[in-house]
Structure 1
Amino acid sequence: MTTTDFPPAPQHDEIIVPDSAPVTSPGPFEGPEKLLEVWFAPSLNQLPDVPESSLSGGLRARAAREEGEKWKGLRRVPREVWEEMLDIVKCKVLSVVEGEELDAYLLSESSLFVAPHLLILKTCGTTLNLLGLYRIIEIARAYCGYTNVWRCFYSRKSFFFPERQHGPHRDWRDEVDFLDKVFGTAGAAYTVGPMNRDHWLLYLTSPNTQPRLPYDSKLPSSLIAAPPSSSPPAAILPTKYQDTTLEILMSYMDPKARAPFFHTEEQTSSTPGHELGQIISSKLGIDELFPKDETTLDSFGFDPCGYSANAVIGTGMPEASHVEGKPGGGYFTIHVTPEEGWSYASFECNVPLPITSSSTKPPAVEGRPTLQKLIRNVVGIFQPCRLSITLFVSTTASGSGDSASSVLGASETEARAWQSFGTDLLGGDFVRKDRIGYEFDGYDLVFACFEKKGWKEPRREQIQDDLS
């Protein structure tokens, strides 16, 4: 494939960034990531049925699998096309894991996950995450015929150094304005947690929205797919699995926990980044968070410090669509910025797990931890003084019919999510500062913030003095 097969998108005044803009600005590295999820269907078995004749001509799809099976949905997009989108965002692909249902791209600044019906882009530093959204929508139109976005989610923790960000990421209001220009009144923005301490920002859309790109009328006709000839279903069926995303965002790590992520010049000159990542993963037990026999782990140690990892568990998706009798899986991803003063580690996972060992929904899978045990294991590795945890759980979609046909009813989901973050979750060393719940259309959210007992946050002025 050549770049002429998919010409670059026109630039616009409100999003212009010089080609020479660095991937990361000099100075302290901003660990907290910007997380963008774009869903084009609620599940694998509800992908839009788009005839080949409606797709853009002249585009080369990704080569078929070795066994001759064609890729589905977004996975038919070649790696080169995703890399071109990532050039806009200002990050690069380091490696890729191809799971049965999910592609996991390890990036120079975090991760990209591609399933047939959804894409997850998680980037840190001063990357321009939202500027990739236009291109993602264009690619989905051209290669898959997806003209609507089922749901879009954008979220992030409050930044350490917001003044160092570029483009729409300089301020939450700018990010919301950018997204509103795409989704109009379908989007809603929320601030979760205390504004003067750690808080979490979320933007999400209502289901089944047609995005509006500012330059649609100027795009070559070959890049705009015709709408499917068949009418969409009158109602979306309830999914057979529950979409659950856990995020643990940790800051001010203990010095002993930060030490393994610093590397000497001798280490980095003689040990490739992926090999260094394997050493760190084994030393800290990251490779044992889930059973090794169902985990494909891809990790990288950065020079002179830092660490990233993607893991595909089982098939890579909770619903395990085409693997008879095999439990649903998912992914986890970890990113670490260990510098003193702004140390940060993140863990994200969508593997369906019971809350406790006595829980029956979702069913336990042999060797996998419970949700609470997983949280404790992760916090034990990174030893933060402050952390926030979010649990985002799908419920029965409004208007979908019989609530009993879903895995869990909304009330039970809400109760389980709320109870999962009790004051005793992390034992006696931590105190819970906040626990906040939200009910959205089709999702429940629980946010909790914990701090180490007796810990005092460094003053902003002290960090600035350390930088000067």
Structure 2
Amino acid sequence: MFFEGSEKKIEILLKPGTTPLRRHPDIDWHHVVSLARATVLSTVSNELCDAYLLSESSLFVFQHRVVMITCGTTSLVAAVEEMLRTFNRDDILFLMYERKNELSPEDQHSDYEEDARRLRRFVPGNTTIFGKENDHYVAVFHYGPDCQPQATDMTLEVLMHEIDREAAAPFMQADIGKPALYERTGVNRIFDEFAIDDFIFDPMGYSLNGICEREYYTFHITPQSECSYASFETNRVFGEGELEATLNKVLAIFRPRIVTAVYFDKNAAGIAVPTGYSARTASQQRFCGFDVLFANYRKA
């Protein structure tokens, strides 16, 4: 059973003083999700964030920031258009639309170039391609002429293909139960003190949202062998050595053959090659005040 695990992502940061997104009178987040051809499964909230677990990935809504990730054959750009029709362009501090290359692009409702054309009707963004277009790559549409990231504005994405079959096995059992899944995988123990909201799909697959104050992390797993894929993302503020430790911890769960890492930071110093992997391609670009690091790794 083929399923496209590779994801599309939008992140929008609005200027301070704008209408808070969590209770915005002109935005129904369930409607926004439906425009992307997804549905809301459940929600977990704290004082700073509403985390929506979706039928195809996740949505995180803060007071002035929104992050939405979708997989499968979703039309995330349609949801973004709905947001941009609501926001005043002058209120947008930063916008980033990201799309990972798909295994089956012919099944998608649009490609990256079409999505970028649609977004340019709202904001005059630019495109940066990370990686090689005949290999694993990420295309990023970005806008933020006045963006000055804070020291806490960090995001790590770990995109994993061809995950180990033994590691994938727990996520292929719809009746496994969450306690057994946690014990066998440790997906709920990446960080301490996070409120967890997750879903085991039938017949297979798994998604998790975790939040703690302003920080989140999320997993999405497509375990079937013909299209095996797992992703991890977090905006956790890493201390010295914690980024590499987290990357290695995630890779130890899935043991993928191919890994793409993308890291946004105000002043990024680099990422050490994960244990047991070799670097294939790596690059660094700067836009909208961010250093963006990209690397492809292959299991040694």
Q: Please tell me the TM-score bracket, short chain as reference.
A: over 0.9
Residue by residue, what CA displacement relative to the aligned partner does 1:176-224 show, whole Å, maximum 9, x if unpaired? 21111221xx30001111121111111100236xxxxxxxxxxxxxxxx
TM-score of the pair, normalised by structure 1: 0.61
Equivalent residue for 1:128, pick from 75, 89, 103: 75
> Partner of 1:401 in structure 2?
none
1:107/1:435 CA distance change after superposition, 3 Å: same
Percent of aligned positions that are identical: 31
Counterpart CA distance in 1 for 2:40 and 2:25 is 13
Equivalent residue for 1:309, pick from 208, 224, 240: 208
Give the 3-state SS of the residue equivalent to 1:247 in structure 2.
strand
> Partner of 1:458 in structure 2?
none
Give the 3-state SS of the residue equivalent to 1:122 in structure 2.
strand
Residue by residue, what CA displacement relative to the aligned partner does 1:389-423 show, whole Å, maximum 9, x if unpaired? 011112xxxxxxxxxxxxxxxxxx24x2x2x2x3x
> Partner of 1:441 in structure 2?
288
> Partner of 1:248 in structure 2?
158
Structure 1 residue 278: Cα displacement: 5.2
> Partner of 1:348 in structure 2?
233
Equivalent residue for 2:132, pick from 188, 191, 194: 194
Residue by residue, what CA displacement relative to the aligned partner does 1:112-152 show, whole Å, maximum 9, x if unpaired? 000000111100000110101122234456xxxx8632211
**1:283 equivalent in alignment to 2:184:** yes
Larger radius of gyration: 1
Equivalent residues of 1:433, 1:449 under 8 A apart: yes
> Partner of 2:113 in structure 1?
173
Counterpart CA distance in 2 for 1:384 and 1:245 is 21
Equivalent residues of 2:149, 2:289 under 8 A apart: no
Counterpart CA distance in 2 for 1:105 and 1:440 is 29
Give the 3-state SS of the residue equivalent to 2:41 in structure 1.
strand
Give the 3-state SS of the residue equivalent to 1:243 in structure 2.
coil
Counterpart CA distance in 1 for 2:25 and 2:188 is 29
Matched positions, count: 300
Higher strand share: 2
- CA-based RMSD of the aligned residues comes to 2.1
Counterpart CA distance in 2 for 1:192 and 1:207 is 21
Q: Give every structure 1 segment of 4 or more consecutive aligned residues whose post-TM-superposition deviation is greater than 3 Å.
A: 77-80, 138-141, 238-241, 276-279
> Partner of 1:118 in structure 2?
65
Equivalent residues of 1:277, 1:307 under 8 A apart: no
Equivalent residues of 1:332, 1:347 under 8 A apart: yes
Give the 3-state SS of the residue equivalent to 1:163 in structure 2.
helix
Q: Map 1:320-399; keep pairs closer than 5 Å.
A: 330-356=215-241, 370-394=242-266
Structure 1 residue 434: Cα displacement: 1.3
**1:35 equivalent in alignment to 2:9:** yes
> Partner of 1:86 in structure 2?
33
1:78/1:381 CA distance change after superposition, 3 Å: farther
> Partner of 1:430 in structure 2?
277
Residue by residue, what CA displacement relative to the aligned partner does 1:313-353 show, whole Å, maximum 9, x if unpaired? 2x1x2xxxxxxxxxxxx100100001112100000000100
Counterpart CA distance in 2 for 1:110 and 1:444 is 26
Higher helix share: 1
Unaligned runs of 5+ in 1: 1-26, 51-72, 209-235, 318-329, 357-369, 395-412, 454-468
Unaligned runs of 5+ in 2: none
Counterpart CA distance in 2 for 1:426 and 1:241 is 24
RCO higher in structure (CA 8 A, sep ≥6): 2
Equivalent residues of 1:74, 1:140 under 8 A apart: no
Equivalent residues of 1:278, 1:299 under 8 A apart: no
TM-score of the pair, normalised by structure 2: 0.93
Structure 1 residue 287: Cα displacement: 1.5
